Amino acid sequence: MSILILKQSEVERLLVMSECITVMRDALSRLARGEVYQPLRMIINPPGAAGDIALMPSYQSGERAAYGLKAVCFFPDNPSKGLDSHQGGVLLFSAETGELMAIMNASAITAIRTAAVSAVATDLLARPDCRELALIGSGVQARSHLEAMSCVRAIKRVRVASRKLEQARRFAKELAPRYSFEIEPVESVEAAIRGADLIVTATTSDDPIVALEWISPGAHLNVVGSSIATAREIDTATMAAAALFVDRRESTFNEAGDYLFAMREGAIGPDSVRAEIGELLIGAGKGRGSSDEITLFKSLGLAVEDLASAEYLYRKAKATGEGAWVDF
């Protein structure tokens, strides 16, 4: 059997953001209807190692049934070396025979599908008149989220804050020519957030970088950076004050530091999660309650999102002739 191999540039070319948003809507809807299956991710973090590795298996049923497995390493110091912090591969397997069908670059899939899921959440939860975007972080996810947010809201201005002002300046200089709106580097997270009605946090911070008093009434937050139980970007007061939405409850209760720290401090609990994004898509959950309510989507990233992306890429690559086909 021949398997498809897609490198990073090919994934980026084939997985168009606007199309990936549609793919993620379908994947999250299928999750809410019980048509996909995934266990919690398995994370191996050896003492003293420079990074860790996560294994994320999943299965989707129906007409496009398939198995998927993402094996991805997280090395937080990679950006200083000019590398994405996430490195790995997504494997696609036949649901009929178990044969390996494809190996795809996981960094590219993760970057695009994560931002696409945030776009789905934003479209469902953010006020329609959102125009001011605060972007916290200047790495891979910040870049993909800038594109994703502009797909679902008519952004007029972006303020970007990073660990160092020079990083924010480089980000703005690089990306400004691609967009019609202003991208302004600012010196602090507070300066970025004050007055924003749409906020994306995409950092590698272990400790809260966002305070409730900076957030305007009616703002929507996509909280993306932390995906482990021991790190968080959002303070407890914000977690308690916001209407909380997640990609998957089970994952949130086991893996989301933003939730777990606030829960252990007694500020929130399982009932604080208003709905999963998939539940909103199929009409089984309640979304934003009022125009001045703060809404917060805690993104963890799900294996079913990687599987849906890989299955879509496989079909598109076959149709377009992209990628390399190798006997296996």
3-state SS record for the chain: CEEEEECHHHHHHHCCHHHHHHHHHHHHHHHHCCCEECCCCEEECCCCCCCEEEEEEEEECCCCCEEEEEEEEECCCHHHHCCCCEEEEEEEEECCCCCEEEEEEHHHHHHHHHHHHHHHHHHHHCCCCCCEEEEECCCHHHHHHHHHHHHHCCCCEEEEECCCHHHHHHHHHHHHHHCCCEEEECCCHHHHHCCCCEEEECCCCCCCCECHHHCCCCCEEEECCCCCCCCCCECHHHHHHCEEEECCHHHHHHHCHHHHHHHHCCCCCHHHEEEEHHHHHCCCCCCCCCCCCCEEEECCCCHHHHHHHHHHHHHHHHHHCCCEEEEC
Cβ atoms 60, 69 nearer than 8 A: no
Domain ranges of the chain: 2-109+304-327, 117-301
What pLDDT shows up at residue 85?
Answer: 81
Residue 227 confidence class, pLDDT cut points 50, 70, 90: confident
Across residues 287-308, what is the average pLDDT? Answer: 97
Residue 80 confidence class, pLDDT cut points 50, 70, 90: confident
Per mean pLDDT, which range of 61-65, 277-281, 293-297 is the poorest? 61-65
Tokens of 268: 């929130």
Pairing of strands 132-136, 198-201: parallel
What pLDDT shows up at residue 308?
Answer: 98
Report the predicted TM-score, pTM, of the whole model to 2 decimal places.
0.95
For a pLDDT cut of 90, what percent of the chain falls above it?
A: 94
Question: Which CATH number is correct for 2-109+304-327, 3.40.50.2300, 1.10.3720.10, 3.30.1780.10, 3.40.50.620?
Answer: 3.30.1780.10
Residue 1 confidence class, pLDDT cut points 50, 70, 90: confident
Q: Higher pLDDT residue, 113 or 75?
A: 113
pLDDT digits (tens, 9 = 90+) for 141-168: 999 999 999 999 999 999 999 999 999 9
What pLDDT shows up at residue 251?
Answer: 96
pLDDT > 90? residue 178 = yes
Write the single-letter amino acid at 263.
M
Per mean pLDDT, which range of 11-15, 46-50, 302-306, 311-315 is the poorest? 46-50
Identical fold between 2-109+304-327 and 117-301: no
**What does CATH list as the number for 117-301?**
3.40.50.720
Tokens of 149: 């947010």
pLDDT digits (tens, 9 = 90+) for 233-286: 999 999 999 999 999 999 999 999 999 999 999 999 999 999 999 999 999 999
Lay out the sheet containing 243-246: strands in order across: 182-185, 157-161, 132-136, 198-201, 220-223, 295-298, 243-246, 273-276
Q: How many CB atoms lie within 10 A of CB 2?
A: 11
pLDDT > 90? residue 82 = no
Distance CA 224, CA 226 (A): 6
What pLDDT shows up at residue 74?
Answer: 87
What pLDDT shows up at residue 162?
Answer: 96
Mean pLDDT of the chain: 96
pLDDT > 90? residue 86 = no
Across residues 65-71, what is the average pLDDT? Answer: 98
Across residues 179-183, what is the average pLDDT? Answer: 96
Residue 77 confidence class, pLDDT cut points 50, 70, 90: confident
pLDDT digits (tens, 9 = 90+) for 185-218: 999 999 999 999 999 999 989 999 999 999 999 9
Q: How many CB atoms lie within 10 A of CB 252?
A: 22
pLDDT digits (tens, 9 = 90+) for 10-38: 999 999 999 999 999 999 999 999 999 99
